[in-house]
Amino acid sequence: MKQYGAEFFGTFWLVLGGCGSAVLAAGVPDVGIGWLGVAFAFGLTVLTMAYTIGHISGCHLNPAVSIGLWAGGRFPANKLLPYIIAQVLGGIVAGGVLFLIVSGKADFTTIGGFAANGYGEHSPGGYSLFSGLLTEVVMTMMFLLIILGATDSRAPQGFAPLAIGLGLTLIHLISIPVTNTSVNPARSLGVAVYVGDWALAQVWLFWVAPIIGALIGAAIYRFIGSTEE
C-alpha cells in the first residue's frame, strides 16, 4: 500500500505541476513561461519525485511506464493493475485541484483546453490524428529506452532521475505543438475528465499510443541491452 500511495502522490504532483504550469503560467502576457517553461515543469516533476519516491515505488507515475517496465522484465505483473489505478486516481485528483484553483478566476473556462491532449483542431499546431499517433508512439518508445537504460544496473548510479527528467523535458520540447504531449495516459485522463466533450472523445489515443510505444521501447531495450552477444 505504501508503494501505491507513493504512485498516487507522485502522479498527483506530475499532473498538478506540469498541467498547472501550462494552465496558470504559460500564457501570462509578457511574463508567461511559454512552452519551454511547461516542458521543464513536466521534467522537474519527474526529477523531484524520482528522488522522493523512487526508492519506495520506483516512481513510475505513468501507466505506460509501468506496462513498459513489466514488458522489459523489470516489474511484476501482480502489481501492474494496482499501480495503474493509483496513477489514474492521482492524476484525476490533481486535475480536480487544478480545476478548483483556476475556477476562482472570473473569466475561467475550459474551452481553451485546460492542458488537455488532442489532435486535429484540438492539436496546438493543428496536426492530424496520424501525426499525433506517430508522435506519441515514438516519444513514449524513446522515454522507455531512457528509463530502462538509465536504471540498468550497469549504468552510472544515482543519475537516473536526471536522465529521465531531462528526457521528459526534451520529449515535451518536441511534441507539445503536436498533441500537447501526453506519453502518459494518467496525465491525459486526469484533465480530460474536467474538459469532457472532445477531450474525452480523443483521450483513447493517449492511452493506446503510449502503451504501444512503451511495449516497443521495452522490446528494443531487451534486445540492445541484453548482455548476451
Q: 165-182: per-residue pLDDT in tens? A: 999 999 999 999 999 999
Amino acid 156: pLDDT: 86
Assigned domain for 52 exists: yes
CA distance 141 to 158: 23
Residue 59 lies in a domain: yes
**What DSSP character marks residue 127?**
-
Report the chain's mean pLDDT, rounded to a whole number: 92
Judge whether 57 lies within some domain. yes
Cell reading at 136 = 506519441
Pairs from 123-126 (Cβ < 8 Å, separation ≥ 24): 123/177, 123/178, 123/179, 123/180, 124/176, 124/177, 124/178, 124/179, 124/180, 125/177, 125/178
Answer whether residue 62 is part of any domain. Answer: yes
> How high is the pLDDT of residue 46?
95
Environment class of 150 (CB within 10 Å of its CB; exposed 0-12, middle 13-18, buried 19+): middle
**Residues 187, 38, 183, 122: is their CA dihedral positive or negative?**
positive
Q: What is the pLDDT of residue 229?
A: 53
| Residue 229: inside a domain | no
Q: Which residues of the chain have pLDDT under 70?
A: 29-30, 109-112, 228-229
- How far is residue 42's CA from residue 34's CA, in Å, rounded to a whole number? 13
Structural domain span for residue 82: 2-224
What lies within 8 Å, CB to CB, of 228 at 6+ separation is none
The number of distinct structural domains making up the chain is 1
* CATH label of the domain that carries residue 153: 1.20.1080.10
